[in-house]
Amino acid sequence: MNTKLHVGSPTEDDLDRLSELLDQRGPTAMGLEELDGFLAALVCAPELVMPREYLPIAWGADVPFADPTQASAILGLVLRHWNTIAGTPSGSLDPDGIYLPILFQDEHELTPANDWSIGFMRGADMRPGADLRILRGGTCQPWCACASCSATGSQGGTR
């Protein structure tokens, strides 16, 4: 078996591949935007959530992988993306060190960030009670507080 080790942030092509792999998993898997929010919340969590706990939620545990190659590809890309979010002061996909969440535009060319926010809230819910600490300052970056507003449609506060 020839396994190539990839390090560093996923490229645009890598993220496109991850999106394709998630889409192949079916409707129980998260899409790329939701996964990005989910991982962002887990990075902000006051305690580490292990991959064996969060990965089945991200990729829809009830659907088996097509083969070990698909499982390895998706796992590698998800972990590289996690490391990108966690690896810089703001978890950056941007060369200036600013975390830029993956957000898609809708048919009206608006970027509602609903899927990202839902993913973030799902990640925060992995540790009940910890989400309040995250959304009230704790160890989280300022962008985290926006997730609650977008996911619930409110202007502020916690959910």
Q: Note the pLDDT tens digit of each residue in 70-118.
A: 888 888 888 888 888 887 544 444 556 666 788 887 788 877 788 999 9
Separation CA 49–CA 127 (nearest Å)? 8
Q: Is the dihedral of CA 34, 124, 77, 8 positive or negative?
A: positive
Closest alpha carbon to 15 in 38, 37, 31: 31
Q: What length does the chain have? A: 159
Q: Which domains does the chain have, with CATH numbers?
A: 12-152 (1.20.120)
Angle subtended at Cα 62 by Cα 22 and Cα 159, rounded to the nearest 5 degrees: 75
**pTM metric for this prediction:** 0.74
76-87 pLDDT, tens digit per residue, is 888 888 888 887
